[in-house]
């Protein structure tokens, strides 16, 4: 089990895939789904959410597809995760308790708030360009 949901995993992998293409190149969602071995309809919904968040340009029909809306060095892992899941990973109580804060902390608040800030900074520094350049399997 990973830290991210399956939805975010597919979203990040698809964005890395797109970042590895020639800038401005639109890719078919069917091709991306095939290459990533991802369910087409599930991936389509994820890419739609990334488009609505302004991270992708989408075009239907002949010659259509998806492409990055900004250069890969201007899109962070955090941007992708927040577009798909919201910012709960970086803002919410680890135990899911409403009202947990520095003033009214839960039993795990002090430990989690430190790690949450570190995770937020790590995800902000991890640009799509850096992830795509690594050449690792997606």
Average pLDDT, consecutive stretches of 10 residues, N- to C-terminus, the chain (138 residues): 86 97 92 97 97 94 88 97 94 92 94 93 96 85
For 1, counting Cβ atoms within 10 Å of its Cβ (0-12 exposed, 13-18 middle, 19+ buried), the class is: exposed
pLDDT tens digit string along 63-102? 779 999 999 999 999 999 999 999 988 999 999 999 999 9
Is the separation of the CB atoms in 118 and 127 below 8 Å? no
Q: Who contacts 122 (Cβ-Cβ below 8 Å, separation ≥6)? A: 77
Q: What is the model's pLDDT at position 1? A: 54
Which CATH fold would you assign to the domain 6-133? Arc Repressor Mutant, subunit A (1.10.10)
Is 13:80 a contact under the CB 8 Å cutoff? no
Domain map (residue ranges) of the chain: 6-133
Q: What is the pTM of this model?
A: 0.90
């Amino acid at each position: 089990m990973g830290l991210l949901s399956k939805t975010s995993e597919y979203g990040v992998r698809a964005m890395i895939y797109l970042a590895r293409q020639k800038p401005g190149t639109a890719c078919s969602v069917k091709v991306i789904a095939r290459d990533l071995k991802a369910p087409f309809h599930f991936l389509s919904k994820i890419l739609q959410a990334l488009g609505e968040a302004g991270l992708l340009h989408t075009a239907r029909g002949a010659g259509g597809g998806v492409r990055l809306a900004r250069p890969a060095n201007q899109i962070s892992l955090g941007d992708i995760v927040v577009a798909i899941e919201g910012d709960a990973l970086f803002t919410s109580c680890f135990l899911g308790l409403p009202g947990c804060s520095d003033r009214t902390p839960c039993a795990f608040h002090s430990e989690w708030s430190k790690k949450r800030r570190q995770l937020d900074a790590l995800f902000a520094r991890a640009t799509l360009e850096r992830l795509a350049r690594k050449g690792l399997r997606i």
